[in-house]
Amino acid sequence: MPKRIVSGIQNIGHRVIESVWRLGVASRFFMLVLFKSGTSVRRFNLVIRELYFTGVLSLIIIVVSGLFVGMVLGLQGYETLQKYGSESAVGTLVALSLVRELGPVVAALLFASRAGSAITAEIGLMKATEQLSAMSMMAVDPVARVVAPRFWSGVISMPLLAAIFSVMGVFGGYLVTVVFIGVDEGSFWSQMQDSVDFRFDIMNGFIKSCYFGVAVTAIAVFEGYDAPPTAEGVSGATTRTVVTSSLAILGLDFILTAFMFRGVS
């Protein structure tokens, strides 16, 4: 029995050491990517190409999800608020929840599963088929040429996608409550504008989505670059990207919210 306990503790220790070590490797890789980003700035075409894959191709899922999330928020908010006779505050409810939380977080979760996994799979496959080795044998640094442009495209497109998500959500809420249910249009917008603050709500949401963009793409490129060069290796890395970045988004969201809205109602 004590033997089993000892081996259990050993197991825990092993996992902790393993994950701390991996975190270290990932941070070093992240620094390397930042350090080698000069090529992405000088040859911005490389980033534009990747923006198409990370940004433009994520648009549909972001627009549709944003619209539906906003419509549901409008419907649920109306149901609850009308009990207190304050259904005109539904605009405030929809806008604040979207701009502060749901926009950045849900858009980032969608982004992680749409673009993050694609980045991991692509880099992992390039590694498995020796394309990265071939590149480095051609005296071209794969981190600068392949990884950095993908990283920056993610960092750029994430806040834009989050903003599009929020706008679509507000529009969805407007559709349901004002157009379908018939809440007064004027009070919908004016109450919203009264309580949504540029500095505290919109800027903070924007900053959040920037952090999420960095986190998701950093995880995605690392998992891809680090993947064992086999089919199972790549598929495992893709799954890990989605899981790890979703957890990272939610964890970061809590930390950032705690910092941003501390002391403010």
Partner 1 sequence: MTSENLIEISGLNFSYGTRAILKGIDMTMQRGKVIAIMGGSGSGKTTLLRLIGGVIEPTSGYVKFAGQVVHELERDALFKLRRKMGMLFQFGALFTDLSVFDNVAFQMREHTNLPESMIRDLVLMKLHAVGLRGAHHLMPNQLSGGMARRVALARSIALDPMLIMYDEPFTGLDPISLSVIGNLIRRLTDALGMTSIVVTHDVQESLKIVDYVYFIADGVIAAEGTPHEVRKSVAPFVHQFVHGEEDGPVPFHYPAQSYQKDLNLENTRA
Partner 2 sequence: MQRTTMDLWVGLFVVMGIAALMILSLKVGNLNVYNPSHSYVLSGNFENIGGLKVRAPVKSAGVVVGRVTDIQFSTQTYDAVVTMSMDSRFLFPKDTFASILTSGLLGEQYIGLAAGGDEVKLKDGDKIMKTNSAMVLEELIGRFLFNKASEDDSSL
Residues that bind partner 2 (CB under 8 A): 48-49, 51-52, 55-56, 59, 95, 99, 157, 159-161, 163-164, 166-167, 170, 189, 192-194, 196-202, 206, 263-265
- 140 touches partner 1 (CB under 8 A): yes
Chosen residue from 1, 138, 258, 264 binding partner 1 by CB under 8 A: 138
Min dist CB 197 to partner 2, Å, is 6
Instruction: Please report, for residues 27, 56, 107, 164, 239, the alpha-carbon distance to residue 243 in angstroms, rounded to integers and kept in the order given.
Output: 18, 23, 15, 24, 6
* Identity of the residue numbered 140: V
Q: How many residues does the chain have?
A: 265
Report the alpha-carbon distance of residue 76 to residue 68 in Å, rounded.
12
Report the alpha-carbon distance of residue 59 to residue 70 in Å, rounded.
16
Min dist CB 137 to partner 1, Å, is 4
Chosen residue from 136, 193, 230, 239 binding partner 1 by CB under 8 A: 136
Instruction: Please report, for residues 2, 54, 172, 265, the alpha-carbon distance to residue 100 in angstroms, rounded to integers and kept in the order given.
Output: 51, 23, 17, 13
Min dist CB 16 to partner 1, Å, is 23
User: For residues 211 and 222, which CB has a smaller minimum distance to partner 2 in the complex?
Assistant: 211
Residue 126 binding: pick among partner 2, partner 1, none (C-beta 5-8 Å cut-off by kind):
partner 1
Judged by CB under 8 A, the stretch of 140-148, 165-173, 203-211, 218-226 that binds partner 1 is 140-148
Q: Look-up: residue for tokens 């980033």?
A: 47
Report the alpha-carbon distance of residue 178 to residue 240 in Å, rounded.
42
Min dist CB 141 to partner 2, Å, is 23
**Tokens at residue 159, please?**
């806040």
Min dist CB 79 to partner 2, Å, is 20
Q: Rule CB under 8 A: which of 94-133 touch partner 1? A: 122, 125-126, 129-131, 133
Q: Rule CB under 8 A: which of 170-229 touch partner 1? A: none
**Helical (H) or strand (E) element with 147:** none
| Maximum separation of any 2 CA atoms in the chain, in Å | 72
Report the alpha-carbon distance of residue 153 to residue 163 in Å, rounded.
16
Residue 197 binding: pick among partner 2, partner 1, none (C-beta 5-8 Å cut-off by kind):
partner 2
Report the alpha-carbon distance of residue 165 to residue 110 in Å, rounded.
10
Binding residues for partner 1 (CB under 8 A): 122, 125-126, 129-131, 133-141, 145
